[in-house]
């Protein structure tokens, strides 16, 4: 495992001397950071192997509490490669159980994002009795308190309030890799399938910074669960022997992002500190980030590029995004921003690279997942925030920023972090990087001089310009602020206090998104993955087989379990059987799947149901117990939990079977009809575009909204004289 000491740089101070006059005043609590703290020790961990090793070593020393905040978590994450033999379990879930069993005073709190169904295939479905049964002192909660459409994206681990890790790596699968990032590494496997190289960075901190991160973790837990956690009185400091101390007694600012909710105002400290650091840069700005789409950061960089004395700007991103949709959206926005910056770059200061490995499979790349920035040799920033609009103002994020503040030893350590990263990307020794940096005083010149290997940094070529219309559609996938949809919840679940009213212009946005998806289907690589005539012919052939209707009916059952979108099955059924029989099979399959979840809920223990539903259990139970049929119709029309979870809870609290099935049928009817009409028009579009009639789809959508309006008045009729609706909460 490489450390900062391996760079070969022997100097104590920065490579490019020059004190920052505003270094002492850059951090402003309440504006660009939450807290300014002192850290007794700090060390950078590059890539998953180093982080997973140090996480396990530190967790073994924890005595009272471990807090884990993450975007994702998977109990079957491998902490080390199979060829190693450690005295503790290899799988994360088993390891956490092992920790609490060996220490009865230890509690572990895991708070992760309550993800939407679109991520269901990539994540561990929360039926822990089938995959992992957590120990009673391992408390796992799915956080659903973020703004509508936002996510809990922090990646923070705190041990006894004395040691903390913060950065871009979640404790989940497909994160483990070595600094070698070999094209073929047999240890980089999940379920027998290899995944591409993965690059990321974490920062370990000790002392006051860790205590503040522990306080933040307890606050997040309170917001998510309503339960207070007591502060931790650690028996002693934690710092594994193998974790190198690269900086001592260093100033660290903690910055956050939170979208505004009913309980707190918007927090945009991360965005403001990024802008302030860019403005303060004198010599160089070095950035590694998964995404590069933030308009605010782009404006700040453009201002520096227009300055003849501005800093050299190096941006390292990944070549490709995951999946055609993410690529079409995020790469489109990235290309547009880079194009604008290059047009502003009159002095040749901007350089955008991606890591290249010649032996990688076509269509893959090194997954640059880091969220890192180094400004001169003065500031080192590592955290969870992407340089994307949503990370600046939408999702929950946490970044740590180390400041040298005139200390030459800390400036030297920050310099060594950058040199070590460059040596990794260029597959050369750290000494070679240092030698070229000292000769050229240019990061870009050093990268180009050391390029040409099988593994190096290549200049990023951006895609051709696209229309403003398509770019506008893409921007809806990377919003700067939440698009409130809580008005729908107000309509169908009045017990939930809404943040804002539902505005008509948002319907227009959703329509644009739908049109954008149709455009992406036609104008992106997705069109090359499936020939339209072939798909149509195959679907029709499938529809003529004797067993096809039964298979279609049964497909809805596993789809609701793994969170696969049911509408896709409905679209396929329409292609295969036509609109009438496709609709009958879709409704039959949905009701069959619903009944299966209902029966499962009847036979589950209360503990299992609570773990499945998480914080949404009480809300759903209150709604369902009050009025079975109409309430079931409401939550199926505007779901406040995944389809399967709603069915399990309905079965667990013994909603009458008739009310459950009728409510499911009534609630799913409008959406299913809309999907069938859309599928029918899609068939026409594939077979003969001139025969497409858009008015049935428009009529179906109009009927859907009309039904929503009528159901609102049916379920919640106003009292005579303008009194409160019948289902308002009783005082």
DSSP string, 219-267: HHHHHHHS---PPP--SS----TTS---EEEEEEEEEEEE---SSS--E
- Burial of 348: CB neighbours in 10 Å, binned 0-12, 13-18, 19+: exposed
Q: Which residue has the higher pLDDT, 527 or 98?
A: 98
Report if residue 15 sits inside a domain: no
Q: 62 is written with which tokens?
A: 């924890």
pLDDT in tens, 301-319: 999 999 999 999 999 999 9
The CA distance from 157 to 373, in Å, is 21
Same domain, 38 and 145: yes
Domain that holds residue 287: 29-182+193-459
Last-in-domain residue among 437, 459, 481: 459
Same domain, 152 and 69: yes
Give the range among 48-57, 176-185, 448-457, 625-634 with minimum mean pLDDT: 625-634
Same domain, 407 and 507: no
Same domain, 433 and 505: no
Same domain, 199 and 150: yes
Are the CB atoms for 502 and 317 separated by under 8 Å? Answer: no
Last-in-domain residue among 412, 441, 459: 459
Nearest by Cα to 96 from 66, 121, 120, 116 = 66
Q: Which residue has the higher pLDDT, 697 or 327?
A: 327
Dihedral (CA of 474, 478, 481, 483) sign = positive
Measured from the Cβ of residue 221, the count of other Cβ atoms closer than 10 Å reads 21
Nearest by Cα to 260 from 343, 178, 357, 150 = 150
Q: Identify the band that residue 529 occupies on the pLDDT scale cut at 50, 70 and 90.
A: very low
- Residue 603 makes CB contacts below 8 A (sequence gap 6+) with none
Report if residue 1 sits inside a domain: no
Report if residue 5 sits inside a domain: no
pLDDT of 712 above 90: no
Domain total in the chain: 2
Task: State the DSSP code for 634.
Answer: H
Percentage, residues of the chain above pLDDT 90:
47
The CA distance from 462 to 473, in Å, is 19
Report if residue 420 sits inside a domain: yes
Length of the chain: 731
Same domain, 576 and 683: yes
Residue 244, by phi and psi: left (phi above 0), alpha (psi -120 to 50) or beta?
A: beta
Interval 218-233 mean pLDDT: 92
Q: Which residue has the higher pLDDT, 536 or 655?
A: 655
Q: Which residue has the higher pLDDT, 110 or 1?
A: 110
Of all helices (H) and strands (E), which one includes residue 412?
Answer: helix 408-426
Same domain, 561 and 621: yes
pLDDT for the residue numbered 67: 98
Are the CB atoms for 188 and 177 separated by under 8 Å? Answer: yes
Task: State the DSSP code for 503.
Answer: P
Same domain, 524 and 628: yes
pLDDT for the residue numbered 11: 41
What pTM, to 2 d.p., does this model score? 0.69
C-alpha distances in Å from residue 539, one per residue of 79, 536, 571, 672, 697: 43, 5, 11, 19, 22
Report if residue 509 sits inside a domain: yes
Report if residue 277 sits inside a domain: yes
Q: 223 is written with which tokens?
A: 């917001």
Report if residue 205 sits inside a domain: yes
Are the CB atoms for 532 and 686 separated by under 8 Å? Answer: yes
Same domain, 407 and 513: no
Interval 381-404 mean pLDDT: 95
β-strand 193-194 against 189-190: which pairing, if any?
A: antiparallel
**CATH number, domain containing residue 274:** 3.30.870.10
Same domain, 604 and 705: yes
Q: Identify the band that residue 645 occupies on the pLDDT scale cut at 50, 70 and 90.
A: confident
pLDDT in tens, 124-181: 765 544 568 899 999 999 887 877 678 899 999 999 999 999 999 999 999 999 999 9
Task: State the DSSP code for 331.
Answer: I
Same domain, 442 and 539: no
Same domain, 221 and 311: yes
Report if residue 519 sits inside a domain: yes
């Amino acid at each position: 495992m490489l450390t900062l000491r391996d760079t070969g740089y022997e100097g104590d101070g920065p490579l490019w001397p020059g004190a920052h006059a505003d270094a002492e005043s850059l951090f402003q609590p309440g504006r660009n950071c939450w807290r300014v703290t002192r850290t007794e020790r700090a060390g950078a961990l590059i890539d998953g192997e180093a982080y997973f090793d140090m996480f396990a070593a530190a967790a073994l020393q924890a005595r009272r509490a471990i807090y884990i905040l993450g975007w994702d978590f998977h109990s079957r994450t491998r902490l080390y490669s199979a060829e190693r033999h450690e005295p503790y379990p290899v799988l994360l879930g088993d390891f956490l159980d092992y920790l609490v069993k060996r220490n009865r005073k230890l509690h572990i709190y895991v708070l992760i994002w309550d993800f939407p169904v679109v991520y269901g295939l990539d994540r561990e479905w929360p039926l822990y009795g089938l995959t992992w049964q957590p120990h009673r002192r391992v408390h796992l909660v799915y956080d659903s308190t973020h703004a509508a459409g936002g996510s809990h994206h922090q990646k923070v681990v705190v041990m006894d309030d004395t040691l903390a890790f913060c950065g871009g790596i979640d404790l989940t699968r497909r994160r483990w890799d070595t600094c070698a990032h070999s094209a073929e590494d047999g240890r980089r496997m999940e379920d027998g399938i290899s995944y591409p190289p993965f690059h990321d960075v974490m920062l370990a901190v000790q002392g006051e910074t860790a205590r503040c991160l522990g306080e933040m973790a307890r606050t997040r837990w309170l917001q998510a669960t309503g339960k207070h956690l007591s502060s931790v009185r650690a028996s002693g400091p934690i710092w594994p022997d193998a974790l190198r101390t690269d900086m001592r007694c260093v100033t660290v600012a903690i910055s956050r992002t939170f979208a505004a909710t009913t309980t707190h105002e918007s927090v945009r400290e991360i965005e403001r500190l990024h802008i302030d650091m860019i403005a303060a840069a004198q010599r160089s700005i070095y950035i590694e980030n998964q995404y590069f789409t933030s308009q605010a950061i782009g404006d700040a960089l453009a201002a520096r590029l227009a300055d003849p004395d501005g800093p050299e700007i190096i941006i390292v991103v990944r070549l490709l995004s995951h999946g055609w949709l993410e690529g079409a959206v995020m790469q489109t926005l990235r290309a547009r921003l880079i194009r604008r910056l290059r047009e502003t770059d009159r002095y040749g200061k901007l350089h955008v690279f991606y890591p290249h490995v010649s032996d990688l499979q076509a269509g893959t790349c090194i997954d640059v997942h880091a969220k890192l920035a180094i400004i001169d040799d003065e500031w080192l920033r590592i955290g969870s925030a992407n340089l994307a609009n949503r990370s600046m103002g939408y999702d929950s994020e946490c970044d740590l920023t180390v400041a040298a503040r005139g200390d030459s030893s800390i400036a030297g350590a920050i310099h060594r972090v950058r040199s070590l990263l460059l040596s990794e990307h260029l597959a050369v020794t750290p000494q070679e990087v240092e030698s070229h940096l000292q000769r050229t005083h240019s990061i870009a010149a050093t990268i180009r001089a050391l390029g040409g290997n099988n593994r190096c940094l290549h200049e990023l070529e951006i895609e051709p310009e696209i229309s403003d219309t398509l770019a506008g559609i893409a921007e809806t996938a990377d919003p700067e602020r939440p698009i409130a949809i809580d008005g729908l919840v107000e309509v169908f679940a009045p017990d939930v206090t809404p943040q804002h009213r539902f505005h008509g212009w948002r319907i227009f946005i959703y329509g644009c998104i739908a049109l954008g998806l149709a455009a992406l289907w036609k104008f992106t690589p997705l069109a090359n993955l499936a020939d339209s005539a072939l798909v149509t012919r195959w679907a029709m052939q499938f529809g003529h087989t004797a067993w096809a209707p039964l298979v279609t009916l049964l497909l809805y059952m596993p789809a609701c379990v793994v969170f696969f979108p049911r509408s896709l099955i409905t679209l396929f059924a329409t292609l295969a059987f036509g609109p009438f029989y496709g609709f009958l099979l879709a409704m039959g399959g949905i009701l069959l799947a619903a009944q299966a979840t209902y029966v499962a809920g009847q036979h589950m223990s209360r503990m299992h149901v609570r773990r499945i539903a998480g914080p949404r259990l009480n809300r759903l139970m209150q709604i369902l117990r009050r009025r079975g049929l109409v309430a079931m119709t409401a939550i199926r029309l505007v779901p406040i939990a995944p389809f399967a979870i709603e069915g399990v809870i309905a079965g667990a609290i013994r909603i009458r079977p008739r009310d459950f099935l009728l409510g499911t049928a009534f609630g799913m009817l409008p959406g299913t009809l809309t999907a069938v009409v859309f599928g029918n028009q899609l068939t026409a579009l594939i077979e003969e575009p001139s025969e497409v009639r858009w008015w049935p789809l428009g009529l179906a959508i109009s009927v859907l909204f009309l039904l929503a309006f009528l159901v609102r008045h049916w379920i919640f009729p106003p009292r005579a004289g303008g009194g409160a609706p019948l289902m308002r909460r009783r005082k």
